[in-house]
C-alpha cells in the first residue's frame, strides 16, 4: 500500500512473494496483465541488496524504471543506449547499495566488465522477465537468454532466481527450468482462460470484403487487424481508409516517431483500427479493444493467444476472428526454408499445431488451454467460440478410436502421429517392414479414412486426454490412463468429423464466381443505355463519353444505389459519379424496388487501384506540369506506360489537367480535328480514329487528344 497503493494482493502474488522472501527459486506463469511485475518488485524492496532484473526490451525497461522511480523506489537500468556517464552513475549507486532494482538487457549481462561488476555487488535475487525467450520452442527465442545461468554461475552459486513468463506451453516451461537450472523451483501458474473472448476461425475466402463489412457493422469499436507482411499492412490500411474506416498502419518498417504517433492515435481513439504486424502490441495497454482480426494465420498458437489476448482486457466483449487457409501454412513454410534445420523444424512444428487448431472442430477454448497444459471442460465455454455455437458434424467413433489406441499400444508408445497413421492405413514404408510393424494386428485396419482424417481423430484424442503427446520427444504419442481404461472397457464415443478445409475453400470459390462473370440484368441494362444516350444528346457528347458499355454492364450487375457504391463501378470515379450518376441511380433504385431484387452485394468494398504508387506519382507530377516523357524518365517507366496510366486515371473518372503537355506536342489544328472526330464518333477506338483521320496523325497525338477530351468533357 505504501509504495504501490494497492489494498490487497491479486491471485497468487502473496504466495509468490513469500516464496522469494524465503530465498527459494520461483517460477511464475501468468497471463499478461495478471500482475507479474509486483511479484519481484515488492520483495526487492524488502530484502537486503540489489535485485537484478533481466528484461529483453530496452524500451520497456526504461518505462518500468520510470514508473518505479515515480513511486519513490530506487531503480535503474544498464543497457547499450546509455552514455558512459549515465552508465557509471548507475553502477556507483549499485555499488553503494542504494539501488533496490537493477534492470539489464541480456547483451549487457554477457559483457566481461559487467560480470566483474556483479562480483562486487550484493545481489538479493535475479528476476528473469519474459523467460520464454530462453526456449527455442517459444515464440520469441533469444539466444543470449541461454547464457544467463552460465554467467550467474561465474558470479555466485546460490543466488535465487525468479523466472516469469506469460506464455508457457509445458515444453517451454521445461526448457526454462532446465536452462536456468531451477528444476526444483516452486511453480505458480494461474489459468490462461479468457472467458470473455469469443474465438472464431473463418475460411479465408474474400477476407477483405468480409473484414470491411465486419468493421462497418461495428462502427464504434476499436480493433486490431494483424497481417504477416508490411506490404499487406499498408495495403489493408489504405483499403480501410478508402472505405471510410479510420485506420493506420503499424510495422517495424515505419520510423519510431510515426510508430508512436500511430500508437497514440489508437490509444486516444482518433482512429478506429490499427493494421499491424506482430511488432504492434508489446506493452500496449488499451483496455477496450473490442476485436482482434487475424488476416493471416499466426506462426504459433502462442502468438495467436498473445495477440487475441489484447482484446477485452477490461473483461468485457472481445471478438477474435482468424482467417485461415491451408495455403497460408504452405506459404509460411516456404519462407522458413533459409533457416537452419533445427530452427526450421521447431518453427514447422509450431505452425502445424496452429493449422490443427484452425481445422479442429472441437471447442477452441478447450484446444487452446490444452495447448497450455490446462484441462478445460468445454461445457463452461457457453457458446463463446464458433465450434460451440455451431457444432460441427459428429460421428460414432468407437471403432476408429479403438484402432488408434490399440495401434499406439502395439507400437509401445514409441512413435509419432504420422507413423501411427501409416500403420493404420497399411502403408508399405521401409521402416514399417524393417521393424515388422506390418505384422501388427492393427496394420492396415484403417483404410477407410484418409491420412488427414486419421490425424484429426488422433488430435482429438490428444486434446481429450486419451493420448499423451510426449513433450520431451515431440511427436511421440502414448496411452493415457483414460486411454488404457477405454481399451479395457470400450464405450460409445463421438468425435467431430474432419473438415477438409482445402476442399471447402475450392468449392466455395467455384460456387461464387467473380462478380464480373455473372450475367448482367438485361432489362436494366437496356434502361440504362437509353438513359445514357439521352444524357449524351443533352450534353452534345458521344454516348461512350458518358459511360462505356462495360460500366453499364457493371451497373446492371451490382445495382449501385448510393453514390459511394456507384463510384465503385468499372470506369467510374468520384468525378464522373458526381457529374452523371444521379439519373442512373434513380433508374436502378426504381428497378430494384419494382422487381424486388435482392442486391447480392450488401457491402461494396472499394479496392485501391492497381499499382497506385505509380499513379499517385504521375498525378503529382502532372499537377506540377512536368512533361510526360520526363515523368517516364523520373519514374523509370516507358513513355507508353505513362500514357497508358494517364488514360487509366482519366477513364476511371478523374480530371487530369494535361492540356499543358498536349498543347506542347500536338499541333492546335490537329487537336481540333481529333476533337471533332471524337464528338461525332460511334466509339472511342483509336484504330478507327487513325483510319478516318488519315496518316497525318500519329497514334500518340490521337491518344493524347482523346485523353484530354475525356478529361474535359466526361469527368
Ligand atoms: P504482467 O506483467 O503480468 O503483464 P503487470 O505487472 O504489468 O502485469 O500488471 C498489470 C496491471 O495490474 C498493472 O496495471 C498493475 O498496476 C496492476 N496490478 C498489479 N498487482 C495489483 C494488485 N495487487 N492490485 C491491483 N492492481 C494490481
Ligand atoms: Zn467453445
Take atom 2 of ligand 1 and give the residue whose Cα is closest: 36
What residue's CA is closest to ligand 1, atom 12? 35
Q: Measured in angstroms, how far is the CA atom of residue 201 from the centroid of ligand 2?
A: 12
Q: What is the DSSP string of 431-498?
A: HHHHTTGGGSTTTTTTTTS-HHHHHHHHHHHHHTTSEEE-SSSTTBEEE-HHHHHHHHS----EEEPP
Residue 168 has pLDDT above 70, yes or no: no
CA of 315 to the centre of ligand 1 (A): 14
Q: Please measure the distance between the N-terminal and C-terminal CA atoms of the chain and give it in whole angstroms.
A: 69
pLDDT for res 471: 61
| Cell (9 digits) for 645 | 496510366
Of the candidate ranges 29-38, 256-265, 512-521, 639-648, the one whose mean pLDDT is the lowest: 512-521
- b/e code 157-186 from CB counts within 10 Å (16+ = b): eebbbbbbbbbbbebbbbbbbebbebeebb
For residue 515, name the pLDDT band (cuts at 50, 70, 90).
very low
Query: Which atom belonging to ligand 1 lies closest to the Cα atom of 34?
Result: 3
The C-alpha cell at 619 is 498525378
| Nearest ligand atom owner, CA of 360 | 2
Average pLDDT of the chain, as a whole number = 88
Q: Under the phi-then-psi rule, with left for phi > 0, alpha for psi from -120 to 50, and beta for the rest, what region is 426?
A: left
Query: What percent of the chain shows pLDDT beyond 90?
Result: 47
Q: How big is the chain, counted in residues?
A: 715
How far lies 670's CA from each of 276, 420, 610, 643, 698, in Å? 53, 80, 33, 19, 10
Instruction: At 295, list the grid cell.
Output: 488476416
Residue 604 has pLDDT above 70, yes or no: no
> How far does the centroid of ligand 2 lie from the alpha carbon of residue 355, in Å?
17
**Of 91-100, 130-139, 557-566, highest mean pLDDT:** 91-100
Atom 20 of ligand 1: nearest residue by CA position: 35
**Separation of alpha carbons 238 and 698, rounded Å:** 39
Compute the distance between CA of residue 262 and CA of residue 282 in angstroms, rounded to an integer: 14
pLDDT in tens, 528-539: 999 998 988 888
pLDDT in tens, 138-148: 777 888 899 99
CA-based radius of gyration for the chain: 33
> Ligand 1, closest atom to CA 37?
6
Closest protein CA for atom 27 of ligand 1? 35
pLDDT band at residue 226, thresholds of 50, 70 and 90?
Answer: very high
CB crowding 51-74: b at 16 or more within 10 Å, else e: bbbbbbbbeebeebbeebeeeebb
* pLDDT band, residue 557 (cuts 50/70/90): confident
> What is the model's pLDDT at position 512?
47
H helices present in 75-111, as ranges: 84-95, 106-109
- On the question of pLDDT at 472 being above 70, the answer is no
Cα–Cα distance between 140 and 302 in angstroms, integer? 10
Q: Which ligand is nearest to the CA of 60?
A: 1
**DSSP β-ladder status, 394-396 and 494-496:** antiparallel
Q: Tell me phi and psi for residue 197, to 5 degrees.
A: -90, 135
| Residue 33 pLDDT exceeds 70 | yes
The pLDDT assigned to 56 comes to 86
Nearest atom within ligand 1 for CA of residue 129? 2
DSSP 333-389: HHHGGGS-HHHHHHHHHHHHHHHHHHH--S-HHHHHHHHTT----GGGGTT-BHHHH
Question: Which of the four pLDDT bands, split at 50, 70 and 90, describes residue 41?
Answer: very high
- Average pLDDT of 547-561? 85
Residue 693: pLDDT over 80: yes
Which residue in this structure is represented by grid cell 459511360? 547
Does this model's pTM top 0.75? no
Phi and psi, residue 102, nearest 5°: -120, 115
Q: Can you tell me which atom of ligand 1 is nearest the CA of 13?
A: 23
pLDDT in tens, 198-212: 999 998 888 998 899
**Nearest one of 654, 641, 525, 506 to 584, comparing CA atoms:** 525
Query: Which ligand neighbours the alpha carbon of 35 most closely?
Result: 1
Beta bridge partners of 161: 126
What three-state secondary structure class fits 187? strand
Chain-centroid distance, C-alpha 546: 42
Residues 222-248: what's their mean pLDDT?
92
Residue to mutate (ligand 1; options 11, 33, 35; most atoms within 8 A of CB): 35
Q: Is 1 helix (H, G, I), strand (E, B) or coil?
A: coil
Residue 247 vs residues 6, 24, 288, 299, 609: alpha-carbon distances, Å: 37, 48, 17, 24, 18
Ligand nearest to the CA of 378: 2
Instruction: Name the band, by pLDDT with cuts 50, 70 and 90, for residue 185.
Output: very high
Confidence at 234, pLDDT banded by 50, 70, 90:
very high
Best of 38, 56, 63 for a ligand 1 pocket test (most atoms within 8 Å of beta carbon): 38
Q: Which residue has the higher pLDDT, 607 or 669?
A: 669
Pocket of ligand 1 (CB under 6 A): 6, 9-10, 13, 30, 32-38
For ligand 1, atom 13, the nearest C-alpha belongs to: 35
Separation between Cα atoms, residue 35 and residue 505, nearest integer Å: 42
Residue 349 pLDDT class (50, 70, 90 cuts): confident
Residue nearest to atom 15 of ligand 1 (CA): 35
Minimal-distance CA residue to ligand 1 atom 25: 6
Q: What was the pLDDT predicted at 585? A: 94
| SS3 label, residue 98 | coil
Amino acid at each position: 500500500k505504501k509504495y504501490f497503493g494497492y489494498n490487497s494482493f491479486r491471485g497468487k502474488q502473496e504466495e509468490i512473494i513469500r516464496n522469494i522472501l524465503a530465498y527459494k527459486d520461483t517460477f511464475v506463469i501468468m497471463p499478461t496483465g495478471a500482475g507479474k511485475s509486483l511479484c519481484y518488485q515488492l520483495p526487492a524492496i524488502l530484502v537486503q541488496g540489489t535485485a537484478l532484473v533481466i528484461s529483453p526490451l530496452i524500451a520497456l525497461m526504461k518505462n518500468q524504471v520510470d514508473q518505479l522511480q515515480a513511486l519513490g523506489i530506487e531503480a535503474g537500468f544498464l543497457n547499450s543506449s546509455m552514455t558512459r556517464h549515465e552508465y557509471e552513475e548507475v553502477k556507483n549507486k549499485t555499488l553503494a547499495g542504494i539501488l533496490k532494482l537493477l534492470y539489464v538487457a541480456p547483451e549487457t549481462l554477457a559483457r566481461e566488465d559487467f560480470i566483474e561488476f556483479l562480483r562486487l555487488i550484493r545481489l538479493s535475487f535475479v528476476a528473469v522477465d519474459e523467460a520464454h525467450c530462453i526456449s527455442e520452442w517459444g515464440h520469441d527465442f533469444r539466444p543470449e537468454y541461454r547464457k544467463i545461468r552460465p554467467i550467474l554461475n561465474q558470479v555466485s552459486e546460490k543466488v535465487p532466481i525468479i523466472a516469469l513468463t506469460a506464455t508457457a506451453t509445458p515444453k517451454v516451461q521445461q526448457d526454462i527450468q532446465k536452462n536456468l537450472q531451477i528444476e526444483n523451483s516452486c511453480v505458480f501458474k494461474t489459468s490462461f482462460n479468457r472467458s470473455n473472448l469469443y474465438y472464431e476461425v473463418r475460411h479465408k475466402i474474400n477476407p477483405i470484403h468480409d473484414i470491411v463489412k465486419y468493421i462497418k457493422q461495428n462502427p464504434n469499436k476499436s480493433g486490431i487487424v494483424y497481417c504477416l507482411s508490411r506490404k499487406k499492412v499498408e495495403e489493408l490500411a489504405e483499403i480501410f481508409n478508402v472505405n471510410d474506416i479510420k485506420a493506420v498502419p503499424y510495422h517495424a518498417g515505419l520510423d519510431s516517431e510515426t510508430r508512436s504517433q500511430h500508437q497514440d492515435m489508437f490509444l486516444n481513439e482518433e482512429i478506429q483500427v490499427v493494421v499491424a504486424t506482430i511488432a504492434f502490441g508489446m506493452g500496449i495497454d488499451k483496455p477496450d479493444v473490442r476485436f482482434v482480426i487475424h488476416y493471416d494465420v499466426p506462426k504459433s498458437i502462442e502468438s495467436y493467444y498473445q495477440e487475441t489476448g489484447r482484446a477485452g482486457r477490461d473483461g468485457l466483449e472481445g471478438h477474435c476472428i482468424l482467417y485461415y487457409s491451408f495455403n497460408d501454412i504452405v506459404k509460411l513454410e516456404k519462407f522458413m526454408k533459409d533457416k537452419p534445420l533445427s530452427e526450421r523444424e521447431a518453427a514447422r512444428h509450431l505452425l502445424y499445431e496452429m493449422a490443427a487448431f484452425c481445422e479442429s472442430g472441437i471447442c477452441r477454448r478447450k484446444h487452446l488451454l490444452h495447448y497450455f497444459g490446462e484441462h478445460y471442460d468445454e461445457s463452461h465455454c457457453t457458446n463463446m467460440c464458433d465450434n460451440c455455437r455451431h457444432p460441427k458434424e459428429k460421428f460414432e467413433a468407437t471403432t476408429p478410436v479403438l484402432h488408434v489406441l490399440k495401434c499406439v499400444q502395439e507400437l509401445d508408445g514409441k512413435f509419432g502421429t504420422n507413423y501411427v497413421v501409416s500403420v493404420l492405413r497399411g502403408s508399405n514404408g521401409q521402416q514399417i517392414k524393417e521393424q515388422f510393424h506390418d505384422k501388427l494386428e492393427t496394420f492396415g485396419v484403417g483404410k477407410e479414412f484418409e491420412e488427414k482424417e486419421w490425424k484429426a481423430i488422433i488430435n482429438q484424442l490428444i486434446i481429450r486426454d486419451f493420448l499423451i503427446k510426449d513433450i520431451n520427444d515431440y511427436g511421440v504419442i502414448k496411452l493415457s490412463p483414460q486411454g488404457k481404461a477405454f481399451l479395457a472397457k470400450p464405450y460409445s464415443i463421438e468425435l467431430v468429423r474432419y473438415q477438409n478445409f482445402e476442399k471447402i475453400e475450392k468449392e466455395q470459390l467455384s460456387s461464387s464466381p467473380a462478380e464480373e462473370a455473372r450475367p448482367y440484368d438485361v432489362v436494366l441494362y437496356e434502361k440504362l443505355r437509353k438513359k445514357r444516350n439521352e444524357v449524351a444528346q443533352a450534353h452534345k457528347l458521344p454516348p461512350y463519353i458518358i459511360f462505356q458499355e462495360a460500366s453499364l454492364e457493371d451497373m446492371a450487375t451490382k445495382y449501385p444505389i448510393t453514390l459511394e457504391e456507384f463510384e465503385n463501378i468499372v470506369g467510374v470515379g468520384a468525378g464522373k459519379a458526381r457529374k452523371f450518376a444521379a439519373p442512373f441511380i434513380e433508374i436502378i433504385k426504381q428497378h430494384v424496388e419494382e422487381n424486388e431484387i435482392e442486391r447480392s452485394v450488401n457491402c461494396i468494398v472499394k479496392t485501391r487501384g492497381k499499382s497506385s504508387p505509380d499513379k499517385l506519382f504521375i498525378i503529382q507530377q502532372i499537377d506540377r506540369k512536368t512533361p510526360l516523357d520526363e515523368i517516364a524518365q523520373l519514374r523509370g517507366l516507358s513513355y507508353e506506360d505513362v500514357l497508358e496510366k494517364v488514360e487509366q486515371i482519366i477513364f476511371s473518372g478523374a480530371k487530369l489537367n494535361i492540356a499543358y503537355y498536349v498543347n506542347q506536342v500536338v499541333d492546335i489544328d490537329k487537336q481540333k480535328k481529333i476533337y471533332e472526330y471524337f464528338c461525332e464518333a460511334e466509339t472511342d477506338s483509336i484504330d478507327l480514329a487513325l483510319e478516318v483521320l488519315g496518316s497525318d496523325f500519329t497514334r500518340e497525338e490521337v491518344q493524347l487528344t482523346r485523353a484530354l477530351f475525356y478529361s474535359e468533357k466526361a469527368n
